[in-house]
Structure 1
Amino acid sequence: MADLYAKKLESERKTLWATCRLKGLPVGTPERQRIAELDQLIAEHKARPGAKPAGKPAPKADRKTPG
């Protein structure tokens, strides 16, 4: 099952980061502060026992084959 919480956090971070890059926002802006918060939340979530990394599925060679 997909880790929707982690995907949501990473998606929000990626969107904010792109906005900051396009606008050239300095470090102290609310957008940059939110990115730092998201980094912390993502790290805490990944450190949780049983948390699966969000992102792309495993390569086909690593997947279990039926049978």
Structure 2
Amino acid sequence: MADLYLKNLESERRQLWATCRLKGLPRGSEERLRIAAIDEAIAAHKAKTRG
């Protein structure tokens, strides 16, 4: 079964990353901070599902 939560997080991360690349946003921007938060959420979710 597809993990929709994980797919949603990864999709949002890809969108934010593309926006950052197009606009040339610096590391401390809101979008970059959100990407870092999403990375943590993805890692936590994968660790939880693996056991």
TM range (shorter): over 0.9
Identity among equivalent pairs (%): 67
The CA deviation string for residues 20-56 of structure 1, in whole angstroms up to 9 with x for no partner, is 00000000000000000000000000001358xxxxx
TM-score of the pair, normalised by structure 2: 0.94
Structure 1 stretches of 5 or more lacking a match? 52-67
1:5 counterpart residue number = 5
| Bigger Cα Rg | 1
Amino acid at match of 2:38: L
Structure 2: 5+ residue runs without aligned partners? none
Total equivalences in the alignment: 51
Find the counterpart in structure 2 of residue 44 from structure 1: 44
Q: Which has the higher helix share?
A: 2
Letter in 2 for 1:39: D
**Superposed CA RMSD:** 1.3
Length-normalised TM-score, structure 1:
0.72
Report the secondary structure of 2:49's partner residue.
coil
